[in-house]
Amino acid sequence: MDPSPLRCLLIARQGPGDRDDLTQDHLLELAELARSCGFDVHARRVLKRAEIASKTFYGSGQLQALAEEVTRQGVSHLICDDELRGSQVNAIEKLTGLICLDRTGLILSIFEQRAQTREAKAQVELARCEYELPRLKGAWTHLERQGGGVGLRGGPGETQIEVDRRMIRTRISQLKRELTHLEQVRETQRQGRPKGLPRVALVGYTNAGKTSLLKALTGEGEPRDLLFATLDTTTRKAWLGQEFDPETGETTLVPTHCLVADTVGFIRKLPHQLVAAFRSTLGEVRTADALLVVADAAHPDLEDHLKVVGATLREIGCEPEGIEAQPRLLVLNQVDRLHRPQKLDLKKRHPGAVQACAVDGAGVDEIRLWLRELIPGPPGPRILEDWELPEPTAAP
């Protein structure tokens, strides 16, 4: 029998300039992440604070009161939406008696649970090492204090930190070497793929339906209602189509194909350590001939999700315009969950997008048609949408 899941409390800080609805949305997403990691979410709380408390981030009074309340209800973990320093995590754990995880730590734990292949495992371990390295100091301050107080070096704590840091740095170098080797293997595989077939990457926010669309296009893939279900890139061949001849009324199969790669999903504040560590996997996106940007059109935060996707694509080196720009098709998936007026409104906001449902196949032919047009060569320039461009910087 599975052990009962660990129970957690989720918290987020809301500063004076933060919108209520956004803070709530972010906590809802954190709850999804926690469930995807196997936690039972006991409650979500917003802590309103004008200032960040440097020692405990949220302030000790509020944290202590919360901890007293939830510990009686069997809560063992406190998960924070904010990125915390190692010393803050330690101070919170000491104060509350709860195990504390920040958003990045939670996402890393999910990736650790999901990683299957050698490459994914090495990438996730590299991200974990990079995340832990600057946090080591916090973990050893109690020993540092034993070692002779402020200003003195060489106490037992200091030595232990140095040993741990050296071990982590050595591991980071080993992992980087291993990943460079695996990247070369991947590159060789890429070159060995059939020539002349366009390579298309499915990208988008996590849980938008990328794997479902891979399945709709190629017949393969295992969609799951989980955040970060896909970590490894899978490339499959898609059959691009049938041609209907209105004169004879016959439908013939057109012998054209393309290669479609399913990739790891994006999320708001995707830890930069993970983006860096997944460089090789995301190389499939950078080197693709075209991108299918998949979004969950029924999600209340659709526009924010698109902005995150636009920014993450730029972070990994895919610019929307310029000589290197890849053609992109926005696929507004899951429209089966929308009513007609919502679809019309979407059409106005995203006129160039295909509205699709990867589950019943609606819109998939339109996507195939777009993919077929890639075969003679890339399509001409198109008008960019707001989500693809950087936010304008505010005037000073």
Ligand X SMILES: Nc1nc2c(ncn2[C@@H]2O[C@H](COP(=O)(O)OP(=O)(O)OP(=O)(O)O)[C@@H](O)[C@H]2O)c(=O)[nH]1
Q: Which residues contribute to the site for ligand X (CB under 6 A)?
A: 206-212, 223-230, 265, 333-334, 336-337, 357-359
Nearest to 195 by CA among 258, 253, 285, 241: 258
Q: How far is the CB of 358 from ligand X (least distance, A)?
A: 4
Looking at the Cβ atoms of 231 and 290, the one nearer to Mg ion is 231
Cα 147 to its chain centre, rounded Å, is 41
Among ligand X, Mg ion, none, what does residue 316 contact (CB within 5–8 Å per kind)?
none
Looking at the Cβ atoms of 105 and 265, the one nearer to ligand X is 265
H helix intervals, 226-363: 272-277, 279-286, 302-315, 340-349
Structural contact between residues 285 and 201, judged by C-beta atoms closer than 8 angstroms: yes
Among ligand X, Mg ion, none, what does residue 355 contact (CB within 5–8 Å per kind)?
none
Looking at the Cβ atoms of 195 and 340, the one nearer to ligand X is 340
Among ligand X, Mg ion, none, what does residue 282 contact (CB within 5–8 Å per kind)?
none
Looking at the Cβ atoms of 63 and 358, the one nearer to ligand X is 358
Among Mg ion, ligand X, none, what does residue 334 contact (CB within 5–8 Å per kind)?
ligand X
Distances from the Cα of 356 to the Cα of 103, 243, 250, 293, angstroms: 32, 20, 25, 12
Q: Which long-range contacts (CB under 8 A, 24 or more apart) does 296-301 make?
A: 296/205, 296/207, 296/208, 296/209, 296/333, 296/334, 297/332, 297/333, 297/334, 297/335, 297/337, 297/338, 297/346, 297/355, 298/334, 298/335, 298/337, 298/338, 299/205, 299/208, 299/334, 300/25, 301/25
Backbone angles phi, psi at 68, to 5 degrees: -60, -40
In this structure, what DSSP letter does residue 9 have? E
Structural contact between residues 59 and 46, judged by C-beta atoms closer than 8 angstroms: no
Among ligand X, Mg ion, none, what does residue 216 contact (CB within 5–8 Å per kind)?
none
Looking at the Cβ atoms of 89 and 297, the one nearer to ligand X is 297
Return d(Cα 240, Cα 254) in angstroms, integer. 7
Among Mg ion, ligand X, none, what does residue 225 contact (CB within 5–8 Å per kind)?
ligand X
Which residue's Cβ lies closest to ligand X? 265
DSSP string, 197-233: --EEEEEEBTTSSHHHHHHHHHS-----SSTT---S-
Looking at the Cβ atoms of 234 and 287, the one nearer to ligand X is 234
Q: Which parts of this chain interact with Mg ion (CB under 5 A)?
A: 210-211, 229-230
Nearest to 233 by CA among 273, 261, 209: 261
Looking at the Cβ atoms of 58 and 278, the one nearer to ligand X is 278
Q: How far is the CB of 230 from Mg ion (least distance, A)?
A: 3
Q: How far is the CB of 220 from Mg ion (least distance, A)?
A: 12
Looking at the Cβ atoms of 211 and 281, the one nearer to Mg ion is 211
Among ligand X, Mg ion, none, what does residue 333 contact (CB within 5–8 Å per kind)?
ligand X
Q: How far is the CB of 259 from ligand X (least distance, A)?
A: 17
Q: How far is the CB of 271 from ligand X (least distance, A)?
A: 15
Q: How far is the CB of 13 from ligand X (least distance, A)?
A: 27
Among ligand X, Mg ion, none, what does residue 272 contact (CB within 5–8 Å per kind)?
none
Q: How far is the CB of 305 from ligand X (least distance, A)?
A: 11
Q: How far is the CB of 303 from ligand X (least distance, A)?
A: 18
Return d(Cα 238, Cα 223) in angstroms, integer. 17
